[in-house]
Amino acid sequence: MIKVVVACGGGIFTTSVVTDRLEEIMRKNKIRHTITPHKITEIPSITGEDLIVVTGKTSATNDEGIPVMIGISLFTGVGEEEFTEEFLAKVKEIEEQKGQNG
Amino acid sequence: MEKMKMNKELLFIKKNFTTKEEVINNTCSIAERLGYVNENFKTDIIKREQEFPTGLDTAVPIAMPHVGTNCNTSFMSITTVEKPVNFKYMDGTEGELPVEIIFLFGIVHPEDQMEVLKKLTALFRDENRLNRIINAQTNEEGFETMKEFLGDFVEAS
C-alpha cells in the first residue's frame, strides 16, 4: 500500500486533476494506494505518508523525509511520460523499502 | 449541480494590458460588480499569484489565476492581450513567462466542477484550440469558441 499526498498552492484545481491522473496511473499498474489532498504550505508537517506530489513551485522538504516530487507535468501534459516513469520507479523503491522493514 | 458561470462581460479580447495586475484588477472589478465575488477576492488572487504563481509553459503559454475564497459563485473569465504580459512560472522556473491568454476563475466547490475542470485541462493541452482563442478578434468570437470547448458545463450568459 502506497500512501500518496497531492499538494498544490490553492488546494483545489490542480490537486483534483493530478489526483485523477495518479489514480489512473496506479490503477493501471495495479498499485494499491491512498491519495490525500493537502496544501503546499503543509508539506513540512505531513506525517505517516509515503510520497508527496506537488503541482506548484516549492523548495519545501518534509520533516520526516518523505520524498517530494514536482508533478505539474500531469497537469500540463508536457513531460507527462517522463514523470510517470519517475513516479513508478519511486513507488517501486518505496515498496521495496517497506518490504525490507517488515 | 452548480454550473460554472461564463458571462460575456467577463470576456476581454485583445486588450492592451501591460501587467498581470492590470489584468487581475480589470477582471476582478467586473466580477465584483456582477456579484460573483466580494471585494476581497482580488486580494486573494493577487496573494495567491505571489505565493503560488500560475504561469504555465504549455504549447501556448497561459496563466490561470484562481481561488475558491471570497467567491459567491463559480465563474470563468478569459482575457487575451495584444502584447504578452508577464507571469511567474507555476513550477518555480526562474524568470518571467510572457502569456497571451489569462483564464481567471473562481471555484467554490471543486468537487462539483470536476467535469468542467477536466474540459479546461484538456483545453490547456490543446495548442490548436488555444490558438483559436488567441486569434479571436471580437468578444463574440471568443465567447462562441469558449462555449464550444466547455460545452454544457458552463452557464453562458
Q: How far apart are CA A58 and CA A52, in angstroms?
A: 12
* CATH number of domain containing B82: 3.40.930.10
B128-150 pLDDT tens trace: 999 999 999 999 999 999 988 88
Higher pLDDT residue, B117 or B73?
Answer: B73
Instruction: Choose the closest CB to A57 out of B52, B67, B107.
Output: B52
Give CA angle at B59 (A76, B153), nearest 5°. 55
Residue A20 in contact with partner chain B when CB distance is under 8 A: yes
Residues of A in contact with B92 (CB under 8 A): 56-59, 70
Whether B26 is in a domain gets the answer yes
Tell me what ipTM this predicted complex has.
0.77
Is B52–A13 a contact, with Cβ atoms under 8 angstroms apart? no
Strand partners, A35: A4
User: Is residue A100 one of the residues assigned to a domain?
Assistant: no
Closest chain B residue to A9 measured between Cα atoms?
Answer: B52
pLDDT, greater one: B151 or B62 = B62
pLDDT band at A102 (very low <50, low <70, confident <90, very high): low
If you average pLDDT over residues A78-92, what whole number do you get?
Answer: 95
User: With an 8 Å Cβ cutoff, are A56 and B90 in contact?
Assistant: yes
* Cα nearest neighbour of B124 on chain A: A76
C-alpha span between B108 and B106 (Å, rounded): 6
A contacts of B111 (beta carbons < 8 Å)? 16
* Residues B60-115: tens digit of each pLDDT: 999 999 998 999 999 999 999 999 999 999 888 899 999 999 999 998 887 777 88
Pairwise CA distance, residues A100 & A85, whole Å: 23
- The mean pLDDT value of chain B amounts to 91
In-domain check, residue B10: yes
Alpha-helix runs per DSSP H in chain B? 20-33, 41-51, 114-124, 127-135, 139-150
Judge whether A63 lies within some domain. yes
Alpha-carbon separation of residue A95 from A35, A51, A62, B80 (angstroms): 16, 11, 19, 47
**Cβ within 8 Å of residue B153, ≥6 positions away:** B3, B4, B115, B116, B119
CATH of the domain at A59: 3.40.50.2300
Number of domains comprising chain B = 1
